[in-house]
């Protein structure tokens, strides 16, 4: 675990608060530049050393103080209240789940999907200082069959945030990419049972991928 925090706030909550809520094809908001450029180097430095593709819970990772603070700000009541106001939902009684990704896995990632039914809200924050690949840019899709039919596209650049309310038609995905693709995903879920199951599943996966320090 990190020994200390960074002296200043990392998340620009006003940028999240001011992000426009779109209602078509589903409820989503894009908040650009939620991280000031002056914070990028410390976040990059303190990002966990992830060795493979897939999602990892914080408890399976080693990371520095700036990344720890970023995660704590995402999990804060202040951030939760902004998300509640934006989507008109009561989230405080719902369990949260935060996972981290470090790599794309070519065709294994990015397939069109809606997220698990147990998820209520998904927040994706990208943490790549540059992005030159044509793939890996998340698309808010109008349907389940065509990656080219999208309402918005979010490059996975540092400080780009997507928030959306999960529903049966919250389709999203991206073109394949390979190599480093850093992101944090925060979810509010409908039950503790789901978050505990997912936490166990991700921990087991991390163990077999060699990312857990015992």
Write down the residue that tokens 């934006």 correspond to: 86
pLDDT digits (tens, 9 = 90+) for 184-214: 999 999 988 766 656 545 454 554 455 543 2
pTM: 0.89
Tell me the percentage of the chain whose pLDDT exceeds 70.
86
What pLDDT score does 178 carry? 87
Q: What is the pLDDT of residues 60-86, one digit of tens each?
A: 899 999 999 999 999 999 999 999 999
Q: What is the pLDDT of residues 113-135, one digit of tens each?
A: 999 999 999 999 999 999 999 99
CB pairs under 8 A, 24+ apart, for 190-193? Answer: 190/94, 190/117, 190/118, 190/119, 190/120, 191/95, 191/118, 192/95
For residue 133, give the nearest of 107, 161, 110, 156 by alpha carbon: 156
Question: How far from 211 is each of 42, 47, 198, CA to CA, in Å?
Answer: 22, 14, 17
Q: What is the mean pLDDT of the chain?
A: 89
Distance CA 210, CA 25 (A): 39
Q: Which of the 8 DSSP states describes residue 53?
A: S
């Amino acid at each position: 675990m990190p020994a200390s925090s960074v002296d200043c706030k990392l998340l620009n909550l006003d940028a999240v608060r001011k992000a426009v809520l779109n209602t078509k094809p589903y409820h989503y908001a894009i908040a650009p530049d939620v991280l000031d450029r002056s914070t990028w180097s410390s976040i990059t430095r303190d990002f966990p050393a992830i060795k493979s593709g897939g999602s990892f819970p914080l408890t399976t990772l080693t990371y520095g103080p700036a990344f720890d603070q970023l995660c704590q700000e995402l999990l804060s009541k202040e951030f939760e209240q902004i998300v509640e106001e934006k989507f008109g939902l009561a989230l405080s009684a719902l369990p949260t789940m935060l996972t981290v990704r470090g790599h794309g896995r070519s065709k294994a990632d990015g397939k069109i999907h809606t997220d698990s039914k147990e998820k209520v809200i998904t927040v994706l924050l990208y943490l790549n200082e540059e992005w030159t690949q044509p793939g890996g840019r998340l698309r808010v899709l109008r349907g389940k069959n065509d990656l080219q039919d999208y309402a918005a596209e979010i490059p996975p650049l540092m400080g780009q945030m997507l928030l959306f309310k999960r529903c049966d038609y919250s389709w999203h995905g991206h073109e394949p990419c390979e190599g480093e693709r850093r992101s944090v995903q925060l979810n509010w879920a409908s039950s503790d049972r789901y978050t505990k199951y997912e936490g166990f599943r991700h921990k087991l996966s991390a163990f077999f991928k060699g990312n857990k320090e015992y």
